[in-house]
């Protein structure tokens, strides 16, 4: 009997407001919320994070136990990469920074610089001024053109190329297990 009274009770204004708010949220078009990263974009961001675990920077390059991941360009991969903020990368804590220009990588204290497709106009990876900044990108032939790690999409698979010469020139060492998984280019 009590259950029937509860069902027959008029709805409160708070309940109505909740229903209206929920309906408004559902009615918001997807384009207004921004593009959610696709599975491929999430995989690329995860690869950038995982690759960093196999990189050894010079002793003086990483300070305060913080490894700074920077990104430049307009890509859903950049949005997915922001999710690594605060996660552990070996003995370091990850920090994420979105750059206004790729040249800001040196001033921004970046250790990993992700360059989105189309971010570099002349198709030449950004010079890092001799600093130990791991450059990662997914534009065509990124590693062949001087970037350190190029993410390559083929069908439903994402693999990567590593340019050892570029990494060595920056004083970055790449662990053997990672090299075994990559296509090494020079």
pTM value surpassing 0.85:
no
DSSP letter (8 states) at residue 84: G
Mean pLDDT of 89-93: 93
Residue-level pLDDT at 166: 92
**Residue 4 pLDDT class (50, 70, 90 cuts):** very low
In this predicted structure, what is the pLDDT of residue 124?
Answer: 56
Contacts 24+ apart (CB under 8 A), 128-133: 128/170, 130/170, 131/61, 131/105, 131/106, 131/170, 132/57, 132/58, 132/61, 132/170, 132/171, 132/172, 133/105, 133/106, 133/170
* Domain ranges across the chain: 2-33, 39-185
39-185 maps to CATH 3.40.50:
yes
- Render pLDDT for 96-141 as a digit per residue (tens, 0 to 9): 999 988 777 777 789 999 999 877 665 555 556 667 999 999 988 9
Percent of the chain's residues with pLDDT above 70: 75
> pLDDT at position 122, please?
55
Structure tokens of 97?
Answer: 């920074």
How many helices and strands, by DSSP H and E, does the chain display? Answer: 8, 10
* Range of lowest pLDDT (34-38, 42-46, 85-89, 176-180): 34-38
């Amino acid at each position: 009997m009590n259950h029937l009274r509860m069902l027959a009770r008029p709805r409160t204004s708070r309940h109505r407001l909740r229903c209206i708010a929920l309906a408004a949220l559902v009615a918001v078009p997807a384009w207004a919320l921004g593009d959610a990263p696709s599975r491929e974009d999430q995989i690329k961001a995860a690869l950038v994070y995982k690759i960093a675990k196999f990189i050894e920077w010079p002793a003086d390059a990483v300070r305060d136990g913080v490894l700074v991941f920077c990104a430049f360009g307009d890509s859903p991969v950049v949005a997915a990469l922001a999710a690594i903020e605060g996660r552990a990368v070996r003995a370091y804590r990850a920090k994420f920074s979105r750059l206004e220009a790729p040249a800001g990588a040196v001033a921004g204290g970046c250790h990993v610089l992700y360059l989105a497709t189309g971010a570099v106009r002349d198709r030449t990876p950004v010079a890092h001024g001799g600093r130990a900044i791991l450059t990662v990108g997914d534009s065509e032939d990124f590693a062949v053109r001087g970037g350190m790690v190029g993410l390559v999409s083929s069908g439903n698979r994402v693999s990567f190329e590593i340019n050892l010469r570029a990494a060595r020139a920056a004083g970055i060492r790449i662990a053997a297990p990672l090299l075994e998984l990559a296509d090494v280019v020079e």
